[in-house]
Structure 1
Amino acid sequence: MADNSIAGTAEDVLSLCRALRDATGLLGMTSSEEADLLGRVALAEQAATTTVDQTGVEIQLRALRYLLVEVADGPISAFMADYAARIIGDGIGRLFS
């Protein structure tokens, strides 16, 4: 389970969320998958801006990372998944050093 110690900051999370919103067409997702992703993006943004407990942020980031690794198939999905993994700090999903 989460250990309340993600490596990234709230600004990192918000930056990822903005990038995902701007690049949905480049993620290679169906409209229902994209809607799920955008719902998770909204939850991650809310968690990053309204909580001091990092568990909520980490849960949402892990969900985003899962969608980016397992569902997305577009040209930038690997980069977005890597960024999410860097923010979480556990290295799972890291593709680039």
Structure 2
Amino acid sequence: MTATRPHETVLSVTYPSERRARVVADALGPEVGEIDDARSTATVDRDGSAVRVRVRADDLVALRAGVNSWSRLVAVAERVGTSADRT
């Protein structure tokens, strides 16, 4: 945690394959920096078959909003990943 953003949550999801994790992380990547606001920010990284979204915020309300937004984005990215597996 940083002094400027004292609240933090990490959403970590492990997928059955590195390929699926890569597709999800790649789908999330363009959103990093785009949906940040004055009170929260997020990063996305992948380690093998795990994708981690780290949300940092100035206060708990902003943290909750950021976690909700990123949780929805992960769900959408997972649907993209499922579609990619079918092709």
Q: What TM-score do you get using the length of structure 1 for normalisation?
A: 0.37
Q: Which has the higher strand share?
A: 2
